[in-house]
Structure 1
Amino acid sequence: MRPKRLVDAVLFDTFGTVVDWRTGIAQAVAEFAGDAVDANAFALAWRGRYQPSMAPVRRGERGFVDLDVLHRENLEATAAEFGLPLDRQPSDVDWLNRAWHRLPAWPDSVAGLTEIKRDFIIGPLSNGHTALLTNMAKHAGLPWDVIIGSDITRTYKPDPNAYLRTAELLHLPPERVMLCAAHNTDLAAAQKAGLRTAFIPRPTEYGPDQREDLHATGPWDVIGRDIVDLAKQLREHVA
């Protein structure tokens, strides 16, 4: 008899859920700028422009552009805010902008993903584009089965099409796909689109003063301590 499964694919929000963007970006900023700026504050400010920069694309006011373009625009705005000159070799600025391709995994990510991969299709469901997510996977050792970037779905979460087109590309109905995220708003949008949901907390994603997403705030299908714990809970659904 075929094993009973809650879903067939478990997909993951990536920035903040699977990888530690704040540490990775702050390290790159420190290497680029030295003591010229507070690297952690710069990383937080750069990330703070992330959602606002995608909003015009989601509203149809701007054609789709990938995160390398948006990150570069946001980098230039953040550098101007902090008084950091970007008058370096273009390759140096490109290296800094591509720090989003080189983020470190959280300590539990690779082990947890490897365990989930035994029984489920795994991959990112991220606003990152395919090249970014592929480079990130190679850098951090993320064992994805499939990578479907936002350049394929041509939209950004929480637009419902970001979730639905990904499920469609896997030839799965939405209810056979689970999104795991450390962000309750992402899960709410995925659930509204018909996906199953799993929450894990990343209480230091934004540093010691983080106030949001410290715990689950919605009726998610699974709530885990981390990705390893999520793997243990999902195993109960593969008998």
Structure 2
Amino acid sequence: MTRFESVKALVFDVFGTVVDWREGIARDAAPVLARLGRRDIDPRAFADAWRKRYQPAMEECRSGRRPFTRLDVLHRENLDGVLQDHGIDPATLGEAVLEDLNRAWHRLDPWPEAVAGLTRLRRKFTLAPLSNGNVALLTNMAKRAGLPWDAILGAEVAQAYKPQPEAYLRTAEILGIRPAELCLVAAHNGDLKAARACGLATAFVHRPTEHGPDQSTDLAPSEAWDAVAKDFQDLAHQLGC
């Protein structure tokens, strides 16, 4: 029996695996930077700088130094910080502009084959995000992008940020299945390693341009994951969907 014969649900890392965060953030940041007269700031570099604050902000919650705080709040704090790093006073933009730019994370586009691949996978498996995103963010993203989730589970449901074990184990519990019946699909080896340690099945999907054309991380699987696919369509083919 293959590992996937016992799998009932596939859960997905979202930022980078399902959607292209870098291009989406750059698209929404570009007109704001232009309005400020800051054409010296590359919008993609701005997106990278904003994203660079992502893990340190969540680590404050993971470590217990800060209570669990949903990602929309962390993103907004990080936005203020990255603007200040570029010599921009966030107050000059006004609250409405800041909030709209922060919601760029709700408006990210899926990778070109993602929706079609997910639709195929849904024929055989229950699908849900296993993301550090919050429920409102993931709901708005799914609505706009047409992501065919069966359930939307944000990080605040598990009250934990990956790679904390609770993020994976509580997701299985919420879905009413054993960890061995759950598979994480991700483009990030570290995420998959944490999921495997919790007893989940694992599927690596290549996203070699998540960080742009010069990406140097997660270009290949670091371990013998249960499945390795070039994209979601390839994964659907491998899993008989």
Q: Same fold (TM over 0.5)?
A: yes
What is aligned with 2:142?
137
Question: Which amino acid in 2 is paired with 1:95?
Answer: D
Give the number of aligned pairs.
233
Take 2:58 and 2:94, find their aligned partners in 1: how far apart are those partners?
28
* Ranges in structure 2 where 5+ consecutive residues have no aligned partner: none
Take 1:205 and 1:83, find their aligned partners in 2: how far apart are those partners?
27
Secondary structure of the residue that 2:183 maps to in structure 1? strand
Secondary structure of the residue that 1:135 maps to in structure 2? helix
Take 1:89 and 1:73, find their aligned partners in 2: how far apart are those partners?
15
Q: How does 1:43-122 map to 2 (within 5 A)?
A: 43-86=47-90, 87-122=92-127
Take 1:85 and 1:19, find their aligned partners in 2: how far apart are those partners?
30
Q: How does 1:13-52 map to 2 (within 5 A)?
A: 13-34=13-34, 36=38, 37-52=41-56
Shift of the alpha carbon at 1:178? 0.2
Q: Deviations over 1:150-180 (max 9, x none)?
A: 1111110000000000000001000000000
Take 1:22 and 1:88, find their aligned partners in 2: how far apart are those partners?
22
Take 2:6 and 2:87, find their aligned partners in 1: how far apart are those partners?
51
Take 1:154 and 1:45, find their aligned partners in 2: how far apart are those partners?
26
Regions of 4+ moved over 3 Å? none
Shift of the alpha carbon at 1:6? 3.8
What is aligned with 2:231?
226
* Ranges in structure 1 where 5+ consecutive residues have no aligned partner: none
Identify which of 177, 188, 202 aligns with 2:182: 177
Shift of the alpha carbon at 1:208? 1.1
Question: Which amino acid in 2 is paired with 1:9?
Answer: A
Take 1:77 and 1:193, find their aligned partners in 2: how far apart are those partners?
34
Take 1:51 and 1:6, find their aligned partners in 2: how far apart are those partners?
33
TM-score, normalisation: structure 1: 0.95
Take 2:236 and 2:31, find their aligned partners in 1: how far apart are those partners?
36
Question: Which amino acid in 1 is paired with 2:32?
Answer: F
Take 1:61 and 1:173, find their aligned partners in 2: how far apart are those partners?
31
Question: Which amino acid in 2 is paired with 1:185?
Answer: G
Question: Which amino acid in 2 is paired with 1:119?
Answer: K
- Are the counterparts in 2 of residues 116 and 231 from structure 1 also a CA contact under 8 Å? yes
What is aligned with 2:200?
195
- Are the counterparts in 2 of residues 42 and 82 from structure 1 also a CA contact under 8 Å? no
Secondary structure of the residue that 2:101 maps to in structure 1? helix
Secondary structure of the residue that 1:235 maps to in structure 2? coil
What is aligned with 2:158?
153
Shift of the alpha carbon at 1:91? 1.0
Secondary structure of the residue that 2:184 maps to in structure 1? strand
Take 2:89 and 2:238, find their aligned partners in 1: how far apart are those partners?
49
Q: Deviations over 1:184-218 (max 9, x none)?
A: 00000000011000001111000111100011111
